[in-house]
Structure 1
């Protein structure tokens, strides 16, 4: 136990609106019995990012005895690395730093780069969907494997001169035409800004852009506040790359119908 800064919630002022929950990137806050609660001292960093989201001023920062801060996202990332490094019995082949940067080279199917657009890699005959008098043949749109940013190798051939689609994990679940309209013709990279280290992914995306002459980046993120980090990471990566890459943004509502498109970064030449 150490004396350090930590959030304090005045339950008399708290009305349980829940606006503070998305603001806590560490997931230390929950609504319990109609009130916001700090569920574990270890997951509160004491920085107070949740304070501004409380409309009733119920959250303050105090100093008191508490357990040391534990970055839950860092723990989850390390656990994920251990799981993938040990996948398929290739523990001896997995180099930790190389994996963090490029993804596993061990041949494990979860991270081995596969270009699904090559013709032989996937059945392109499609799926036939019949609705009344209408028959539609829907062809697969996924061009690459893997799709998770954590597993993608920046030197994979499918990234060369590609139009990238950087999508939050939840977007395909709520957007009905994600695969037919948004994904078509693009290389898919997925990430969850709430649970994953965006600084790490900003660095990785910067490297992808620099090495592959990326043509464009489309960001599809959910309307919840924490998901906007995905957009900010992409803009920062483009800026760091020094290249002229346009970025388009789609803000997706939880009902799947509220979509807003805008050019977030028109590129240096068009700016």
Structure 2
């Protein structure tokens, strides 16, 4: 079928990963330092990644591609953690990313066997968004999990 998909110009891509972070479906990965649309059937055609690219490497094109598979996207989101992996780290910057992390975190908590949550943030005010998003995700997940916040000072020390 002919679909509208993104095209990532490798000559302009600087490998920053902003597009992969913006892609809520997980269609984009960074491979050998460049962004690639690796799962065409995960691409919903909305292009959330376009405005995030600082180099203008992403555009739309129409081409032959498999249909968008919403069920496959949902299943992939359930498999955030590798089998038997004890811990997973997720990072973000609420000031620069300008995205609400709570929805993704809620899905991770709901769809996985999470035992506890540790939020590590800097003491600067803008990092408070991570703490707020994690608390909202815990609440929205409907699970009652132990959680803690560790605050790091601007000189790298843990604040008690």
- Match status 1:218 vs 2:108: no
What are the superposed Cα offsets for residues 236-259 of structure 1, whole Å, 9 maximum, x if unpaired? Answer: 000000111111001110111242
1:231 to partner: Cα distance: 0.6
8 Å Cα contact 2:118-2:148 kept in structure 1: yes
1:96 to 11, 21, 43: 43
Aligned length: 109
Question: Helix, strand or coil for the counterpart of 1:245?
Answer: coil
1:191 to partner: Cα distance: 1.3
Aligned residue number for residue 233 of structure 1: 133
1:186 to partner: Cα distance: 2.8
Please tell me the root mean square deviation across aligned C-alpha atoms, in Å: 3.7
- Match status 1:190 vs 2:91: yes
What are the superposed Cα offsets for residues 130-175 of structure 1, whole Å, 9 maximum, x if unpaired? Answer: xxxxxxxxxxxxxxxxxxxxxx944134377x7xxxxxxxxxxxxx
**Residues 90/220 of structure 1: CA separation in 2 closer, same or farther (3 Å cut):** closer
CA distance in 1, matches of 2:83, 2:135: 18
1:235 to partner: Cα distance: 0.4
2:144 to 236, 244, 267: 244
- Match status 1:158 vs 2:59: no
Question: Helix, strand or coil for the counterpart of 2:136?
Answer: helix
CA distance in 2, matches of 1:159, 1:223: 34
Aligned residue number for residue 143 of structure 1: none
What are the superposed Cα offsets for residues 44-86 of structure 1, whole Å, 9 maximum, x if unpaired? Answer: xxxxxxxxxxxxxxxxxxxxxxxxxxxxxxxx9558658x738
8 Å Cα contact 2:80-2:108 kept in structure 1: no
The answer for unaligned runs of 5 or more in structure 1 is: 1-75, 101-151, 163-184, 261-271
8 Å Cα contact 2:94-2:129 kept in structure 1: yes
1:227 to partner: Cα distance: 0.2
**Residues 237/216 of structure 1: CA separation in 2 closer, same or farther (3 Å cut):** same
Aligned residue number for residue 121 of structure 1: none
- Specify the structure having the higher radius of gyration (Cα): 1
1:192 to partner: Cα distance: 1.4
CA distance in 2, matches of 1:237, 1:220: 15
